[in-house]
Amino acid sequence: GAVVSQHPSWVICKSGTSVKIECRSLDFQATTMFWYRQFPKQSLMLMATSNEGSKATYEQGVEKDKFLINHASLTLSTLTVTSAHPEDSSFYICSARDPQTLNQPQHFGDGTRLSIL
Amino acid sequence: GENVEQHPSTLSVQEGDSAVIKCTYSDSASNYFPWYKQELGKRPQLIIDIRSNVGEKKDQRIAVTLNKTAKHFSLHITETQPEDSAVYFCAASITNAGKSTFGDGTTLTVKP
Q: How far, in Å, CA of B98 to CA of B21, rounded? A: 25
% of chain B with per-residue pLDDT over 70: 98
Contact A69, A48 (CB under 8 A): yes
Question: Chain A interface, mutation test: which of B6, B99, B106, most A Cβ atoms within 10 Å?
Answer: B99
pLDDT in tens, A34-48: 999 998 888 899 999
Contact B37, B59 (CB under 8 A): no
> How long is chain A?
117
Whether the per-residue pLDDT at A81 is higher than 90: the answer is yes
Judged by CB atoms closer than 8 Å, whether chains meet at A103 and B32 is answered as yes
Judged by CB atoms closer than 8 Å, whether chains meet at A108 and B45 is answered as yes
Closest CA in chain B for residue A44: B102
pLDDT in tens, A6-62: 999 999 999 999 999 999 999 888 888 999 999 888 889 999 999 888 899 999 999
Residues 87-116 of chain A with CB under 8 A from chain B are 93, 97, 103-111, 113
Closest CA in chain A for residue B47: A105
Whole-number Cα distances in Å, B73 to B41, B54, B56, B76, B105: 26, 11, 9, 10, 14
Closest by CA to A92, choosing from A72, A110, A105, A69, is A110
The count of other CB atoms within 10 Å of the CB of residue B58 is 12
Show the beta-strand stretches assigned E in A18-89. 19-25, 32-38, 44-51, 57-58, 67-73, 76-81
Identify residue B77 by its one-letter amino acid code.
Answer: I
Residues 48-67 of chain A with CB under 8 A from chain B are 49
Q: What helix, strand, coil percent values describe chain A, rounded to 5?
A: 5, 50, 45
In angstroms, the separation between the Cα of residue B24 and the nearest Cα of chain A is 16
Judged by CB atoms closer than 8 Å, whether chains meet at B107 and A41 is answered as yes
Cis peptide before B8 (omega within 30 of 0): yes
Closest CA in chain B for residue A48: B99
Distance spanning both ends of chain A, measured CA to CA: 37
Give the list of residues 6+ apart from residue B13 with CB closer than 8 angstroms, or none: B19, B80, B108, B109, B110, B111
**Which of A44, A111, A113 faces B89 most closely, judged by CB atoms?**
A44
- Put simply, whether A82 touches B (Cβ < 8 Å) is no
What pLDDT was estimated at residue A52? 87
% of chain A with per-residue pLDDT over 90: 71
pLDDT in tens, B45-90: 999 999 988 899 999 999 999 999 999 999 999 999 999 999 999 9
In angstroms, the separation between the Cα of residue A108 and the nearest Cα of chain B is 6
